[in-house]
Amino acid sequence: MNKRKVLLYLVLSFSLSWLLALGFYLTGEKWVTSRWAQFVGMVYMYMPFLSVVIVEKIIYKGILKESIGLSFKFNGWFIVAWLLPFFIAGLSFLISLLMPGVSFSPDLQGFFERYRDIMGEEQINLMISG
């Protein structure tokens, strides 16, 4: 293992990630209310990958496939990886409907009544009105 390459990757990865976070912070946006927060979060997760590409391809002129084992050949597990979460979510939904006292309510019937004990009437009305 090349310690210099690893150190360069770590420095670059943290630097790019923190610069992106700092840029978002300096805009004055709040993470909870910002329309850009989800986009920034998605870009933020690609910073380590971008760091690998920069270190391996640009700085060391290496072959990316050899260093990280990345291959874009079709693999049957790709389909499984895409469909399995939907299958698990659907199966969980169906199993939960078999439980006593559980019912499906697409219009949120009874949802707001559950909060009446812990929230005031005006807060409930604010939730209902959106």
Check: CB of residue 21 under 8 Å from CB of residue 44.
Answer: yes
Residue 66's φ and ψ, nearest 5 degrees, are: -70, -35
Radius of gyration of the chain (CA): 23
What is the reported pLDDT for 117? 80
Per the structure block, which two tokens stand in for 80? 């499984």
pTM of the model: 0.55
Instruction: Write out pLDDT tens, residues 16-74.
Output: 999 999 999 999 888 888 888 999 999 999 999 999 999 988 998 887 777 677 667 88
**pLDDT of residue 130 exceeding 70:** no
**pLDDT of residue 4 exceeding 90:** yes
Mapped onto helix, strand or coil, the DSSP state of residue 109 is coil
Check: CB of residue 62 under 8 Å from CB of residue 9.
Answer: no
d(CA 32, CA 35): 9
Average pLDDT, the chain: 87
How many helices, marked H, and strands, marked E, lie in the chain? 6, 0
What is the reported pLDDT for 65? 73
Per the structure block, which two tokens stand in for 59? 């700085």
The average pLDDT across 88-110 equals 89
